[in-house]
Amino acid sequence: MPRFKPTSAARARFSAPLDAVNLQTLKSGFSGQVERERMSRLRSKIQEVRNAWLDNDTYAQLVEAVRRWCKPERLPEEVREPLERLLSGYRDYADVSISRPSNAHATRSSEQYDALEMYCSIPGYDYLFKLVSDTLRTEFLTIDLYNLRLSQLGDPRYGNFEGLTHRGMPVYQETVRFYEDIMRNPDLTMRSFAIPLALTSTSADPRVMEDFATKKSPGNERLVHMHLQVHTRGIDEGLLWAYRKRYPDSVVTSICAMPVANISPEGEREILLRGAFFQLLSVTTKQSGGDGVPVVQVIVVTMNSNRDHSTESSSNVDEKRVQREIFRRLVDASKYRACAELAAEFSPADVQGYKMLADKMLNEIRDMQELDLEEFDEASAGALGLEKEDVAVWLGGRLYALRRKQWHQALTKKDWVGALKTLNKEYSWRQCDWYNTGPLDAEGDGLSALHIIASSRPPEDKYSEEHRAWEELVEGAQADPRVWKTLKSFEERAKTARETSYNQELAEAFKPEILHHVEERRLAHLEEQLHRLMKDTAGSLVDPSRFRIPQLSCLTEMEDPRLWIPIPHMYGGFMVELLRSEEALRVTTIETIAGQTAPQSTIRVLESTPMSFGALEVENLVTEDIAKLTVQLTVIPVSEEAV
Point out which residues pair with 165 in neighbouring strands: 230
Angstrom distance (rounded) from CA 231 to CA 204? 11
Predicted pLDDT at 581:
78
CB 263 within 8 A of CB 245: no
Helix (H, G, I), strand (E, B) or coil at 441: coil
Q: Which has the closest alpha carbon to 485: 578, 561, 565, 556?
A: 556
> pLDDT, tens digit, for every residue of 516-544?
999 999 999 999 999 999 999 999 999 88
Q: Is the dihedral of CA 108, 111, 116, 122 positive or negative?
A: negative
Predicted pLDDT at 164:
95
- Please tell me what DSSP assigns to residue 499: G
Helix axes 318-346, 351-368, angle to 10 degrees: 160
The type of residue at 109 is: S
Predicted pLDDT at 139:
73
- Where b means 16+ CB within 10 Å and e means fewer, 217-246 reads eeeeeebbbbbbbbbbbbbbbbbbbbbbee
- 335 half-sphere exposure, CB direction, 13 A CA radius: 26
Q: Is the dihedral of CA 363, 364, 366, 367 positive or negative?
A: positive
Long-range pairs for 472-479: beta carbons < 8 A, 24 or more residues apart? 472/420, 473/416, 473/419, 473/420, 473/423, 474/506, 474/509, 476/423, 476/431, 476/435, 477/435, 477/450, 477/453, 477/509, 477/510, 478/509, 478/510
Predicted pLDDT at 89:
76
Predicted pLDDT at 258:
92
Predicted pLDDT at 98:
74
Helix (H, G, I), strand (E, B) or coil at 530: helix
Predicted pLDDT at 491:
85
Q: Is the dihedral of CA 13, 18, 23, 25 positive or negative?
A: negative
Predicted pLDDT at 371:
85
Q: Which residues of the chain have pLDDT under 70?
A: 1-44, 102-111, 127-138, 196, 217-220, 288-291, 308-318, 375-389, 441-444, 595, 597, 609-643
Cα 292 to Cα 223, 288, 289, 610, distances in angstroms = 11, 5, 6, 72
Predicted pLDDT at 407:
92
Point out which residues pair with 610 in neighbouring strands: none
Point out which residues pair with 181 in neighbouring strands: none
> pLDDT, tens digit, for every residue of 308-322?
665 555 445 567 788
Predicted pLDDT at 51:
75
